[in-house]
Amino acid sequence: MDKNLQEVNFSPSEITIRVFTPGDEEAVVRLWNKVAEAERDIGSLTVETFRKKVIENPNFDPKGAFLAYSAEVLVGFCLVAIRREPFRVRSLEEFPAFISAIMVHPFYRRRRIGFRLISGAVGYAKGRGKKEIRIGYDNPIPLFISVDINRKGVIDFFIKQGFEKEEEIIMTLPLSEFGKETEIRQLHKKVAHLGISVSQIKNQDVPGMLELLKDLAIWWFEPMAKDIESSSLDMANVFVAKEGEAVVGFARVDRIGDNGDVWGILTHPSKCRKGIGTLMLFSALNKLKRDGVRTVHLTTGSQNFPAQKIYGKAGFRKVGAFAMFRKQI
């Protein structure tokens, strides 16, 4: 069906949109990799990877995948995902629709192909009872969850389509610059006077930690529970704050080769601004440093100033930013 991608003259009226059918994956991957050549923040794909990440994903619906053709040339692709996997503590109705991918061949841009793909995505989401469509976290087919803040053209495109922008910042910390042993000792003494202890999580603390997430950060509950059940989480990289036997805070970091990632940090609102979050973070980072991790990365909301203050104390510096989007439909 699809010829090799080529640059030909065409009229916008020649564009046809249809939904995905078996066998289209090879054409989609060719388009994807052509776009990846021009966009440095988009990695290349193989057909095998696309099948595994998309077609075999239980949340994939071919009726939510739109292909734009000029004659026999695939020039645009948009994938909408609606969660179908059940959650333990959130109903499926709570989740919006997500745009998991949208792209147009570089030669065919600024010809309203993207607009038509977005229109198809919104129509599909509406037809399934969704009132919001997003590009961001919780995407059940996470091919695409954000846009580099420097890609003004892409950001302007989504804003013109009626999307609201939410900005996240990227921060990094070379652990060679992290030396907080004295502060850690002082913070342990400080929180102990408040009846709080901070340590690596123990098996008996897991239910309390999950209950904390369920109450205050429900979006973290399911992925944390799954990682624990699948044994994919290194429990030594999770620290908890306890008041007696009650878990009142947690911090999780992950190690990926020589790098680390701050997965999440949370303190019960009644225990904030007491140094507990800082102690949990410093303890987790100190553990990664002892393990030989060189650099730690994290993302946080551009308006999340309390978190940024804690990260700044650890020595994190902002190195970039990206945008996510939402639209009421």
Domain limits, the chain: 12-145, 171-322
Radius of gyration of the chain (CA): 23
Residues of the chain with pLDDT under 50: 1-8
pLDDT the model gives residue 85 = 86
Instruction: Specify the 3-state DSSP secondary structure of 5.
Output: coil
- Residue range 171-322 in CATH 3.40.630.30: yes
Phi, psi of 222 (to 5 degrees): -60, -50
pLDDT the model gives residue 178 = 97
Instruction: Specify the 3-state DSSP secondary structure of 184.
Output: helix
* Helix H or strand E segment including 289: helix 276-290
pLDDT the model gives residue 11 = 56
Distance CA 243, CA 68 (A): 57
Give me the CATH code for the 12-145 domain, please: 3.40.630.30
Instruction: Evaluate whether 12 touches 72 at the Cβ level (below 8 Å).
Output: no
Instruction: Evaluate whether 81 touches 97 at the Cβ level (below 8 Å).
Output: yes
Nearest to 134 by CA among 158, 106, 116, 115: 158
Could you tell me the CA-to-CA distances from 259 to 40, 153, 172 in Å, in that order? 21, 31, 10
Query: Which letter does DSSP use for residue 4 in this model?
Result: P
Q: Is 12-145's fold the same as 171-322's?
A: yes
Specify the pTM: 0.84
Six-digit token string for 13: 């009226």
Strands 238-243 and 196-200: antiparallel
Q: What is the C-alpha end-to-end distance of the chain, expressed in Å? A: 33
The residue length of the chain stands at: 329
pLDDT the model gives residue 33 = 95
pLDDT the model gives residue 54 = 97
Element counts in the chain: helices (H) and strands (E): 9, 13
Instruction: Evaluate whether 322 touches 149 at the Cβ level (below 8 Å).
Output: yes
